[in-house]
Amino acid sequence: MMKRTILLSVLFVGLFAAVSWGAYQKTEKDTLKSHMENEYQRSFHEISYQMDLLHDQIGSSLAMNAGRNLTPALTEVWRLTSLIHSDIGRLPLGMLPFNEMEGFLNQIGNFSYQTAVRDLESKPLSKDEYAKLETLYSQSADLQNELRDIQSKVLADNVEWMDLEGLLATGDEIKNNSVIDGFKKMDNTAKGYAVETFVKTDQETADQRRKQLTHLKGDDLTEEQAVKKVREFAGLDEKVKINISKSLDGSDYPFYSADWQTADGHSANMDLTQKGGYPLFYLLNRDIGNEKLSLYDAGEKGAAFLKKHGFDDVILENSRQNDGMAMLTFIRLIEPQQVYVNSDSIHVKIALDTGEVVGFLGVDYLQNGEEREVGEPALSESEAIEMLHSNFKVEESRLAIIRNEMGDEVLCREFIGTLGEDTYRIFINGQDGQEEKVEKL
């Protein structure tokens, strides 16, 4: 009898503990669900509020004439687009095709930021830019109204975002849901506005062309020709079996990818463009032995390797040593003007035990390496130095081409020097003396 009583007691305690634990888990789950729902609701209503502010701020920018006041106004437009974009990211919209709206907001933000950072008193808004602002004011009003319609449906139907997220997570096509349909309509509207308002500039078209490597010269290689290119670049004999495959559809540019095992059993792989067979990437995986070469020797071997493979317009920019390897960066040098192009870079790894090239990366060089017409800078070296901080001590000076915040290539006077105990690289625009970039070295 006593044993039976004890057993029943134990069972009762276990059942009570299980029920209590289940109730606790349910309470915790409900608390978490309530917290997430509140976060979703807050983010959504903030988007609606910030869209109202964005519309008003664009309108305020249109009413301004003085560059001094227009700069903070456009900066506020950029800030609001960032806030809306951030709140969109907090909603379960990743399962909806809402990327057009986000892209449109990014374009508004980029336009307002790029306009705001320039000197609007000396370079006021052009007629085209003012017309674009007027268009954005009208378009933001339409999006504002569509968002208000969605907001009214959310409030009227007492929509819970957690339930909406559950529907979206099923992956099934959802019909006759006013909120989801409203967001889809808004996204399509934004797509049309983006095409209408943000026609690609020559600079953006050039950027896309560079990214897709369409400026490269040469014929399309067959797989057999690509294998031959790989053998030449990596110094492989005919005994080495090379596996080669073509890039999948949807890549920015068509390329071949190759991999193989060396005679020593080390793995290696390489990518090269289908058009012209330009090397993009090369890596040889092997253990590095005791160092026998200096960093200077490695630089000489890297330069000779690049010259052998047709990269004869580059110069060693910097080098460092890491884990028995020399990490070298070469940049393009335009002669006879002696202009250094920092964006046209090639990275090479040299093993310091044998001097063998074990790594190569040439994408930046190929993407940026279109022919350029380099003129003379309007500012002399001494005039550019006058633009620097009075306590900055110049140690080196040269001409350089860089990309500024707008993505435009600009010819600069580049200065390396010290301010206090720190070393800096400063780029002064060779035409108007604007300080384009400051880097701490």
Sequential pLDDT tens for the chain (441 residues): 555 566 555 565 565 555 555 554 556 565 656 767 777 778 777 888 888 888 888 888 877 766 667 778 888 888 888 888 778 777 776 556 667 777 777 878 887 887 777 777 777 777 877 888 888 888 888 888 888 888 888 777 777 777 766 666 665 555 667 777 787 787 777 777 666 565 555 455 555 555 667 778 888 889 899 989 999 998 888 888 889 888 877 667 788 899 988 888 889 999 988 888 889 889 999 888 888 889 999 999 999 999 999 898 899 988 888 888 899 999 999 888 888 988 888 999 999 999 999 999 988 888 876 677 778 888 888 888 888 888 888 888 899 888 876 667 888 989 888 888 888 888 988 888 888 888 887
Domain match, 154 and 277 both = no
Residue with tokens 């052009």: 126
pLDDT of residue 237: 84
Domain match, 251 and 352 both = yes
Domain match, 435 and 359 both = no
Domain match, 159 and 272 both = no
Domain match, 241 and 349 both = yes
- Of 73, 38, 71, 36, the closest CA to residue 58 belongs to 73
Q: Distance between CA atoms of 292 and 380, rounded to whole angstroms? A: 45
- Domain residue limits at 419: 381-440
Residue 59 in any domain: the answer is yes
**DSSP secondary structure letters along 411-427:** EEEEEEEEETTEEEEEE
Domain match, 416 and 323 both = no
Residue 209 in any domain: the answer is no
Mark which of 336, 368, 400 sits at the end of a domain.
Answer: 368
Mark which of 368, 396, 430 sits at the end of a domain.
Answer: 368
Q: Do 191 and 104 meet the contact criterion of CB atoms below 8 Å apart? A: yes
pLDDT of residue 301: 93
Domain match, 52 and 190 both = yes
Mark which of 368, 395, 415 sits at the end of a domain.
Answer: 368
Domain match, 395 and 351 both = no
Residue 40 in any domain: the answer is yes
Which residues are within 8 A (CB) of 242 and not within 5 positions of it... i.e. 6 or more apart?
A: 227, 230, 231, 236, 258, 259, 260
Residue 53 in any domain: the answer is yes
Domain match, 299 and 397 both = no
Q: Do 233 and 279 meet the contact criterion of CB atoms below 8 Å apart? A: yes
Which residues are within 8 A (CB) of 406 and not within 5 positions of it... i.e. 6 or more apart?
A: 114, 203
Structural domains counted in the chain:
3
Domain match, 434 and 336 both = no
Tokens of 395: 């140690």
Residue 8 in any domain: the answer is no
Please return the burial class of 413, using the count of CB atoms within 10 Å of its CB with bins 0-12, 13-18 and 19+. buried
Domain match, 47 and 194 both = yes
Domain match, 357 and 241 both = yes
